[in-house]
Amino acid sequence: MAIPKAQRWLLVALVLSGAASAVSGSIDPYFLDVVMGVGVGVVLASSLNLINGFTGQFSLGHAGFMAVGAYTSAMLSTVVAPRMGWGAGALQWVFFPASLVAGGLVAALAGLAVGAPSLRLKGDYLAIVTLGFGEIIRVVLQNVDAVGGARGLTGVPTHTNLLWTFGTASLTVYTVWALLESTRGRGFLAVADDEVAAEAMGLDTTRYKITAFGIGSFFAGVAGGLYAHLKGYLNPGGFSFEKSIEIVVMVILGGMGRHAGVVFAAILLTLLPEGLRELGSRSIPNPFGGPAWSLDWIKDARMILYSLLLILLMLLRPEGLFHRRQPRRPSS
Amino acid sequence: MSASASLLQLTGVTIRFGGLTAVSSVTADVREGELAGLIGPNGAGKTTLFNLITGVYQPTDGRIDFAGSGTAGRRPFHLTGLGIARTFQNIRLFPSLSVAENVRVAFHRHLRHRAWHSILRGRAFLAEEAELAERALELLGIFNLERFRDAPARSLSYGDQRRLEIVRALATRPRLLLLDEPAAGMNPSEKDELMRLIRFVRDRFGLAVLLVEHDMKVVMGICERIHVLEYGRKIAEGSPAEIRADPKVIAAYLGD
Amino acid sequence: MTEFLQQLLNGVLLGAIYALIALGYTMVYGVLRFINFAHSDVFMLGAFAAWVSVEKLGLPTRSVPGGLAALLAAMSVCAVLGVVIERLAYRPLRQRSTLTVLITAIGVSLLIQNVAQSPRLGFGPNPRAFPELFPSSQLHVGGLTVSTHQLVVLAVALVLLAVLYWIVHRTRIGTAMRALSFNATAASLVGIDNDRVISFTFGLGSALAGAGGVLYAMNYPSIDPLMGTLPGLKAFVAAVLGGIGNLPGAALGGLVIGLVETFVSGTRLSTFRDAIAFGILIAILLFRPAGLLGRPRVEKV
Ligand SMILES: Nc1ncnc2c1ncn2[C@@H]1O[C@H](COP(=O)(O)OP(=O)(O)OP(=O)(O)O)[C@@H](O)[C@H]1O
Ligand SMILES: [Mg+2]
């Protein structure tokens, strides 16, 4: 493998996240919120990239798995932790990551439950089934009073900070990268390229796909936990299939199965709406005198631009913005 | 097992697609270490037979035994693990992988490392990866492809892609190698080279080969025994000399 | 018993609407082998087209000619829209992968929804009351309550299904459609203009969706730009249930989904109503992926 000490990069990233976290007290809270949202976006996009990009599946249910993780870890923090007295002080530093992992594991189970039966399906069928599963998860959450039902779940402690978000983001990107960067891992790409040939070469394609679903959903679940403890409340409506599409668009824009491209796209697409919202609340002075020109319409046009961008991207550059039109770097 | 025992045994194998019987009650065998041929006019069912042997399709009727056990219900990857490898008539390399990666992926059944080893990236893992890279190069070397190792598989010439498919199949360490029209699109000198290589590979790795090929010079030149299909039925079996003289075969090829 | 019959009736009516939408999915899938995600938004625009023709263009309400005119207007608008969408967004992608087309379709769907939700360009995000297109009254037949609107739904759905059957089986273009969905290459070899047939299919499917939108809106008091999503997904499930690409299958699937949903609504599980369709979808794909009336295909290797 090209970088024998790949872990070094991971370490640097983790230390940087810690350092940033230590000084986060002096960062504007709104900005901090946006930045942490970026971290969550990176986790979501990179994990979906494993499923949709590298393994060539098409999941439209990522938000559903995110919801499972979010609710699991939020319930642990709001119900279990206070009862056991784990929510505060030093114990919080153990309990919170543990609850994130728990959320990830439950999401992974959900992912396996969805993946296993759906994997004989291809392309658009798989997309619809995963979409369906995502919606079922949402409908169920809306109907279970114990987790707040349609009103949502409030009072989630806001444990998420820069260390957790960027630590998780770095770990996710590293894991997906390292997994792929091996002879066994190249099998994911082979499965994406040609299932018949992959089976003929001895690859259990079903197992590859299920693994991708499991790992991808695990990280989606962890992202959900981060999100829950970032916002402090959860609302089932926030995990609708529009959210799944948003994550899919990150993966596509980043060039399906590109590590860095997808990270970059996740950053861009998380910042863009915030930027446009910010811009929309301003107005520019009228050079001819008279009332200032309001930029309010931008708020309105935001989603229209977004959908147009998606269509144009598919028509003009279906391989994504950051695709180099070159082969992937060989793994040895 | 003795050298003449059958490695692959087809007994009354039949498959129907809707109304069409693509392979009809075929009984045939391939012996350990044998270089066998399978010929027949277009649409005779040769590729379909390969798909049946490799588990891509399940026979409607009849049975297939490989190395003494039935293959019914087994998935293709499992049969590959048991020692059946193949190439495809319509080349199916992994286009997004490099030439060397195409070969390495096929080592899959013999890997020692697990998925999580690649995340920890310990010494044993890195050593195995280096060893695999080495082995891939070795195999590519046999077919003179090692200089393309980092090129994307799809950038190879047609003939090289066919050769790479053979290398990739060999990487699974088969006992039986199924080649579907490996000489298609090659010029005469490439065909001669290919014949030499097929013989070499058979001897070097001690495997049996079942070859589908339209070029009679190739088939007659290297096969020890030939099976002939027409409209899904087996119409003849024998040595190249016998097949050449068989009136049914001549009729099948010349049309009646 | 009357309760059961009443539910049965309601289920059939809802199912008829799903069937109209499902036919569009199935027809497009037949000729192009992809799921037209924007179909549900065409359905929504059908409802809005009728709304515009009454509220803005002054078609009379509560009148049979007025209602029919609004229905025809909605169908025409949707047909044109379907053809335009296909021409601009899907045709340039004819040779691309299914996923590229699927994502484009999602993009088109989002675009329509967002334009419709925009107060400046569209109708704004808030629900609007849907006018009474046809004279409305309740009829009581042996304990059952039937509104005239429900009768209109039934009549319109039956007429449209008959017309569709006639087009597909008795006209040249219908024959071409069937040929195309049987084998596209062969169809073009025998001189069928595939592009024209595909345009026609989109027009036809979208017109049915438009009609479905109007009928749906008639039985629900209000319409909004996101109203297409759920019925659209359910109709898609109906298409898969019947065997995607299979026209009678889509109609049958629509009926089944409509009935199941109506009967579930009457039970304690009613809040899970919207999840039921997906449960059905998953069950079919597991146990009978080709659908009720579809035939399994073997991939050629
Ligand atoms: N999945 C399938 N579904 C339907 N028919 C099939 C399928 N696979 C193969 N066939 C049919 O079976 C018959 C045999 O095809 P096959 O590809 O095995 O022929 P072949 O001997 O390999 O011919 P060629 O020399 O042209 O490669 C053909 O008529 C083909 O159309
Ligand atoms: Mg063949």
Domain that holds residue A217: 5-20+27-239
Using a CB-CB distance cutoff of 8 angstroms, which residues of chain C are in contact with residue B53?
none
Tell me, yes or no, whether A220 lies in a domain: yes
- pLDDT score recorded for residue B28: 97
> Has residue B223 got a pLDDT over 80?
yes
Name which of A7, A187, A202 is nearest B80 (Cβ-Cβ): A202
DSSP, residue by residue, A218-258? HHHHHHHHHHHHHHS-B-GGGGSHHHHHHHHHHHHHTTSS-
The pLDDT score that the predictor gives to residue C260 is: 93
Q: Is C141 in the pocket of ligand 1 (CB under 6 A)?
A: no
Look at residue A114 and tell me if it is in a domain: yes
Q: Is A124 close to C107, i.e. CB distance below 8 A?
A: no
C299 CB burial (10 A radius; 0-12, 13-18, 19+): exposed
**Given this model, what pLDDT does residue B24 score?**
95
**pLDDT tier at C169 (50, 70, 90 boundaries)?**
very high
Which tokens belong to B184? 């298609």
Ligand nearest to the CA of B58: 1
Residue C205's region, left for phi above 0, alpha for psi from -120 to 50, else beta, is alpha
Residues C123-156: tens digit of each pLDDT:
999 999 999 999 988 888 888 888 998 999 999 9
Which amino acid, residue B209? Answer: V
Mean pLDDT of C168-194: 88
C283/C279 Cα distance (integer angstroms): 6
- Is there an atom of ligand 1 within 6 Å of C300 CB? yes
Q: Are A162 and A32 in contact (CB under 8 A)?
A: yes
pLDDT tens per residue across span C48-66: 999 999 999 999 988 999 9
Cα(C260)–Cα(C283) distance, rounded to whole angstroms? 14
Give the pLDDT score at A58: 87
> Is C29 in contact with C171 (CB distance < 8 Å)?
no
| Residue in chain A lying closest to C96 (CA) | A318
DSSP bridge pairs for B210: B36, B178
| Backbone angles phi and psi of A224, in degrees to 5 | -60, -45
Distance CA A58, CA A130 (A): 8
Residue A181 within a domain: yes
Ligand 1 center to A228 CA (angstroms): 55
Stronger pLDDT, A12 or B168, i.e. the higher one: B168
Given a contact as 3+ CB pairs under 8 Å, which chains touch B?
A, C
Residue of A nearest to C85 (CA): A311
What is the rounded CA–CA span in Å between residue A35 and residue B211? 61
DSSP per residue over B130-185, as a string? HHHHHHHHHHHHHTT-GGGTTSBGGGS-HHHHHHHHHHHHHHT--SEEEEESTTTT
Contact B96 A184 (CB under 8 A): no
Residue contact B76–A199, C-beta within 8 A: yes
Residue A102 falls inside a structural domain = yes
C301–B56: do the CB atoms touch at under 8 Å?
yes
Nearest CA to ligand 1 atom 4: B17
| Residue-level pLDDT at A330 | 39
Residues of chain A with pLDDT under 50: 1-2, 324-332
Ligand 1 atom closest to the CA of B46, numbered from 1: 21
Residue A90 lies in a domain: yes
Q: Is residue A301 part of a domain?
A: no
How far from B21 is each of B73, B176, B231, CA to CA, in Å? 20, 26, 8
d(CA B175, CA C261): 56
DSSP labels, C58-124: -PPSS-HHHHHHHHHHHHHHHHHHHHHHIIIIIGGGTTS-HHHHHHHHHHHHHHHHHHHH-TTTSS-
- Closest approach atom of ligand 1 to CA C299: 1
Mutation target for C interface from A52, A138, A314: give the one with most C CBs within 10 A: A314
Lowest mean pLDDT among A65-69, B138-142, B175-179, C57-61: C57-61
Comparing alpha-carbon positions, the chain B residue that sits nearest to C301 is: B51
Neighbour subunits, A (≥3 Cβ pairs < 8 A): B, C
Q: Can you name the residues that pair with B14 across neighbouring β-strands?
A: B61
Strands B35-39 and B61-66: unpaired
Determine contact, residues B225/B34, Cβ cutoff 8 Å: yes
Burial C187-221 (b: 16+ CB within 10 A, else e): beeeebebeebbbbbbbbbbbbbbbbbbbbbbbee
Residue nearest to atom 7 of ligand 1 (CA): C300
CA B72/CA B148 separation, integer angstroms: 39
Average pLDDT of every residue of chain B: 94
Ligand 2 centroid to Cα of residue A195, in Å, is 19
Residue percentage of chain B with pLDDT more than 70: 98
Task: Give the H or E element holding residue A8.
Answer: helix A6-22
Q: What is the largest CA-CA distance in chain A?
A: 74
Banded model confidence at residue B3, pLDDT cuts 50, 70, 90: very low
CB contact under 8 A, C298 and B57: yes
Tell me which DSSP letter residue A60 carries: S
Residue A230 CB coordination number (10 Å): 21
Measure Cα distances from A105 to A44, A102, A153, A176, C3 in Å. Answer: 15, 5, 20, 17, 46
Report residue C297's pLDDT band, with 50, 70 and 90 as the boundaries: low
Mean pLDDT for the stretch of residues B50-58: 96
Within a domain: A262: no
Residue A283 counted as domain residue? no
Q: How far apart are CA A271 and CA A253, in angstroms?
A: 14
What pLDDT does residue A220 have? 98
pLDDT at A87: 64
> For residue C60, what are the β-bridge partners?
none
B46 lines ligand 1 (CB under 6 A): yes
Structure tokens at A149: 């039902």
Q: How far is C280 from chain A (nearest CA, A)?
A: 10
Is residue A175 within 8 A of residue A47, CB to CB? The reply is no
Largest CA distance in chain B: 67
Residue-level pLDDT at A331: 39
Task: Please identify every residue whose CB atom is under 5 Å from ligand 2, which is an ion.
Answer: B 46-47, 89
Least Cα separation, residue A38 to chain C (angstroms): 23
User: Mean pLDDT lowest for which of B2-16, B29-43, B55-69, B155-169?
Assistant: B2-16
Question: What does the pLDDT read at residue A18?
Answer: 85
- State the pLDDT at residue B205: 95
Give the model's pLDDT for residue B256: 53
Query: Does residue B96 surpass a pLDDT of 50?
Result: yes
Q: Beta strand B20-31 with B6-17: parallel, antiparallel or unpaired?
A: antiparallel
Q: Whole-angstrom Cα distance, residue C35 to residue A52?
A: 18
How many domains are contained in chain A?
1
Q: What is the whole-number distance in angstroms between the Cα of residue C55 and the centre of ligand 1?
A: 60
Where is pLDDT greater, at C196 or C189? C196
Q: Which two tokens stand for residue A171?
A: 């770990």
Partner C contacted by A295 (CB < 8 A): no
User: In whole numbers, what is the pLDDT of chain C averaged over residues?
Assistant: 90
The CB density around residue C120, as the number of other CB atoms within 10 Å, is 11
Q: Token pair of B241, please?
A: 């000399």
Q: Is C138 helix (H, G, I), strand (E, B) or coil?
A: strand
Is the Cβ pair C104, A196 closer than 8 Å? no
What pLDDT score does C11 carry? 94
What is d(CA C153, CA C147) in angstroms, rounded to the nearest whole number? 10
Q: How many CB atoms lie within 10 A of CB A281?
A: 12
CA distance A267 to A186: 26
Name residue, tokens 């009454």. Answer: C54
For ligand 1, atom 12, which residue shows the shortest CA distance? B22
Give yes or no for residue B105 having a pLDDT over 80: yes
Q: How far is C147 from chain A (nearest CA, A)?
A: 31
Closest by Cα among A192, A213, A176 to A64: A213
